Structure 1
């Protein structure tokens, strides 16, 4: 299968590193014009330059904005009024005991992880429907189904994304616009590397080994028994964004390594 997204403009939020950057690279290599996003201009500029090197000839642009706020989303949309593909990837996570998470943190997680995608989808999806083609993808998580005891507030936002994506898919029925969720499991992104850095330093073992041990201990139902790579997650997202995925909508597609213990 050859995925060709030439002529399509793709927005990938939170794409200066990690899963978002890998998705941006995959879409760029498939021919899409990719808009990279992050909060800081210098990181956006560095990501754009790096992606252009890794995908020679690709058209990659950058647009810095804090999408965890209504004003940030409004500024982003004003600078880019339309797109064909929207990947709602931006998100935050932080292990914290339920009894220690204040109201403000619940609100912050909801604004960044959920409302960013709600606002951007509201801004872009109607135009996609009017043009008769579009792709909206929410990067959820297996944590949306297996709520992690150490991050209940995070799991709540990932469940909410599943609800929004399913409902929006039904709202856009028959328009040629598909809306799906992708659910990664433990993935070896920069964020996970940061979370495990103390153990890596203490043990002197490679990050991949430490991450595999983390998966075995905290996600023992994993079938692959390791963390996925960002590229493995991106491969699923690129397919979902393709013309070939036209009959896949309203779905929650798992790239979780088998962590979710159900058929």
Structure 2
């Protein structure tokens, strides 16, 4: 299968590292012009340099701005009024007990994880419909269905993303625009590796080995018995953004390694 996104403009939010950067590189490899987004110019420039090193012929455009705010979303839409592929990857996470999570933290997670995708979809989908083609993907999580007891606020935000994607797919019925969510499981991103760094140093083992132990301790239902790579998650996203995925919409596509114990 050869995915051709030549002539398409893609925006990947929160894409300076990890899954987001892998998605940006994957889309560029298929010919799309990709907007890489991060909160600071330094982070964006570093990400573009890394992306160009891996995809020398890739077309990358940087946009620095905080898309967890109304103003930040308005600014990226003003700078890039046309978008054919939108990947709502921006997200924050972190453990915190339910009884110690105040209102402002719930609001912060909702603004960043949920409303960023809502605002950008509301801005760009009408243009996609006019052009009879578009792809939108919300990067959710297996935590959307397997709510973690130590991150209920995070899990709820990811459940909301799945709901929005499903409803928005129905709203765009017959337009040539597809909307899906992708649900990664534990993934060996920079943030995950940082979390394991102390154990890597203490044990002398590789981050992959420590990551596999972490998965089997905290997500023992995993079938692959290891974290996914960022590229493995990106592969699913790139497919969902492809012309070949024209009959896939309103779906919650799992890249969870089998963690979710359901058929």
Provide the TM-score with structure 2 as the length reference. Answer: 0.98
- TM-superposition CA deviations, 1:78-117 (whole Å, max 9, x none): 1111100000001000011111111111111111000000
Give the Cα separation in 2 of the matches to 1:190 and 1:126: 35
Q: Name the residue aligned to 1:180.
A: 180
- 1: CA distance, partners of 2:251 / 2:171: 14
Count how many residue pairs are aligned between Structure 1 and Structure 2. 263
Q: What is the alpha-carbon distance in structure 2 between the residues aligned to residue 50 and residue 218 of structure 1?
A: 32
CA distance in 2, matches of 1:120, 1:10: 12
User: Mapping of 1:131-146 within 5 angstroms?
Assistant: 131-146=131-146
Shift of residue 191, structure 1, vs aligned partner: 1.1
Q: Distance in 1 between matches of 2:205 and 2:182?
A: 31
**Higher deviation after alignment, 206-215 or 178-187:** 206-215
Distance 1:210 1:107 in 2: 33
Q: Flag structure 1 segments of 5+ consecutive residues without an equivalent.
A: none
Question: Which residue number in structure 1 is paired with residue 240 of structure 2?
Answer: 240
Q: Give the match for residue 155 of structure 2.
A: 155
Aligned to 2:38: 38
Question: Matched residues in 2 for 1:63 and 1:75: separation?
Answer: 9
TM-score by length of 1: 0.98
Residue segments in structure 2 that go unaligned for 5+ positions in a row: none
Match of 1:24 in 2: 24
Deviating 4+ runs (over 6 angstroms): none
Distance of 1:262 and 1:217 partners within structure 2: 19
Structure 1 residue 146: Cα displacement: 0.1
Shift of 1:202: 2.4
